[in-house]
Structure 1
Amino acid sequence: MPDRLYENIPFRHSEIEHRYGPNVHILSNPYLLSQLAQLCAKDTIQPAINRLVVDIYGRLLEDVMNAEFPRVVRDVATRMIDVTPAGVFHGEVLDRSVRAVTVNIARAGAIPSQTVYDLLNVALDPRGVRQDHIIMSRMLGENEEVVGAGIGGMKIGGDVADAFLLFPDPMGATGSSLSEAISTYKKKVPGTPRRIINIHLIVTPEYLRRMTADHPDVEVYAVRLDRGLSAPDVMATVPGTRWAEERGLTDHQYIVPGGGGFGEIMNNAYV
């Protein structure tokens, strides 16, 4: 008789309270917040920067898979099966047959997407895992403000039918680039994904407003919410309560408190 203790594993990640809607998940995780604070610190340089990005994204993906990916009940014979018929683990594990596609939004998304891709190949059947690549750039207005995003090139390796479509992009600032990338998949790539999930280090209220309006079906995961340019009385409220008054972006669309331009610091290329 197998032990049925692990047939139905409850998983609940810790999230901060907010009013942005059920598809937004801002984690309450002291370890990830500590690592992110170190990553964003003024004196942190390479190689610590990219090592921290890899560490945080590995743990973020674990949380996303625990919460979102399907499971199956399996019997797995352990090494003790040669000693006793009871040497069998019986319980829920991740369904390795699931398809997953991770999208590298170059250039800040390169290391996060590669990290996610490598770990997906461990957790799932690699034959169902793929990494796509999109080159995007912000389009600026007369005052150097972001007015949109353009796609400079793509390498998409197939359809996304019934796949988990993941966008590991560090900074959810304005949402213009990511919204355009998601629209491209919806309009031009064959198949309907099982779920679309954005995975971020930091998001702003402005980004969440754009993403939930443009793509209300998308799940958003983030380590931290930054709204550092909001008025003190607004910051004293539960996030999202006075959403229209919350502000996390400078006039040039950099996140505050933020951590600078991640495409720049991750590549030591300040252009």
Structure 2
Amino acid sequence: MAASSTPKTLVVVDHPLVLHKLSLMRDKNTPSAVFRQLLREISLLLAYEVTRDLPMTTQKIETPLTEMDAPILKGKKLVIVSILRAGNGLLEGMLDLLPSARIGHIGLYRDPVTLKPVEYYFKVPSDIGERPVIVVDPMLATGNSTAYAIQKLKDAGARDVRLVCLLAAPEGVKRVTADHPDVPIYTAAVDSHLNDHGYIVPGLGDAGDRMFGTK
């Protein structure tokens, strides 16, 4: 995306380790086991960035030498919501860094003709409105499913929502930004465009199929 058209809510995490691992994932010869491990490693790095501005407070503790007011996270633990099925690849890596996070799942698949989302599962914590929410899905392509999932979360009460994806297409960024201008998008790269089948180009193929070896 051109710099002039880049929305302020878009954060491209172009850390050298992220870019290197992403290049390995793009390679069509990378086997599923390696693909899953790389996704887990990248998701940990993305989690570091998306949680950079979590609210903090202090708590009095004793070190081996003295008392101090130590910085700790403020409020309830955050929620990570995975858009099934490929979102679970990002979820696992984030839990390595955020083991106390609550977990939600939204089951969606994309109709191959209309490219619109079809929902088959939805389960999130009942107090989601009191927690920061991170939505995870490796591919932000058309943005239809992601925008739908974010709206479902808002309808359930979510107020602080941020999106993490591995790859994004300009079309997907535009759709999510238009529907949810309050939701920041964190991604490792914004690729060129979508092809006629709604796949990101150059992309890395279908993330779910490559994770699970189903194609």
Which residue of the partner structure matches residue 218 of structure 1? 183
Of all paired residues, the percent bearing the same amino acid is: 29
**In structure 2, distance between residues paired with 1:115 and 1:179:** 23
Q: Is residue 95 of structure 2 the alignment partner of residue 117 of structure 1?
A: yes
Decide whether the 8 Å contact of 1:117 with 1:131 is kept in 2.
no
Which residue of the partner structure matches residue 12 of structure 1? none
Which residue of the partner structure matches residue 83 of structure 2? 105
Which residue of the partner structure matches residue 54 of structure 2? 69
Decide whether the 8 Å contact of 2:55 with 2:74 is kept in 1.
no
RMSD: 2.0
Which residue of the partner structure matches residue 208 of structure 1? 173
Which residue of the partner structure matches residue 131 of structure 1? 103
- Structure 1 residues 38 and 76: alpha-carbon distance in aligned structure 2, compared to 1, 3 A threshold: farther
Give the CA deviation at 1:135.
1.1
Residues 76-225 of structure 1: pairs in structure 2 closer than 5 A: 76-79=61-64, 81=65, 85=66, 93-95=71-73, 97-121=75-99, 126=100, 129-141=101-113, 146=115, 148-187=116-155, 189=156, 191-193=157-159, 195-225=160-190
Q: Is residue 36 of structure 2 the alignment partner of residue 50 of structure 1?
A: yes
- Structure 1 residues 43 and 17: alpha-carbon distance in aligned structure 2, compared to 1, 3 A threshold: same
- Structure 1 residues 30 and 77: alpha-carbon distance in aligned structure 2, compared to 1, 3 A threshold: same
- Structure 1 residues 98 and 19: alpha-carbon distance in aligned structure 2, compared to 1, 3 A threshold: farther
**In structure 2, distance between residues paired with 1:56 and 1:104:** 16
| SS of corresponding position for 2:95 | helix
Which residue of the partner structure matches residue 22 of structure 2? 36
Query: Unpaired segments of 5 or more residues in structure 1?
Result: 1-15, 228-247
| SS of corresponding position for 1:62 | helix
AA matched with 2:73: D
| SS of corresponding position for 1:223 | strand
AA matched with 2:82: N
**In structure 2, distance between residues paired with 1:76 and 1:55:** 32
> TM-score by structure 2 length?
0.91
| SS of corresponding position for 2:128 | coil
The C-alpha deviation readout for 1:121-167, integer Å capped at 9, x for no partner, is: 2xxxx3xx3111111111232xxx62x11101222231312311111
- Structure 1 residues 52 and 158: alpha-carbon distance in aligned structure 2, compared to 1, 3 A threshold: same
- Structure 1 residues 94 and 26: alpha-carbon distance in aligned structure 2, compared to 1, 3 A threshold: farther
Give the CA deviation at 1:117.
3.5
**In structure 1, distance between residues paired with 2:210 and 2:74:** 35
Give the CA deviation at 1:31.
1.2
Query: Unpaired segments of 5 or more residues in structure 2?
Result: none
Which residue of the partner structure matches residue 234 of structure 1? none
Decide whether the 8 Å contact of 1:103 with 1:168 is kept in 2.
yes
**In structure 2, distance between residues paired with 1:225 and 1:18:** 14
Q: Greater Rg, structure 1 or structure 2? A: 1
> TM-score by structure 1 length?
0.73
- Structure 1 residues 202 and 18: alpha-carbon distance in aligned structure 2, compared to 1, 3 A threshold: farther
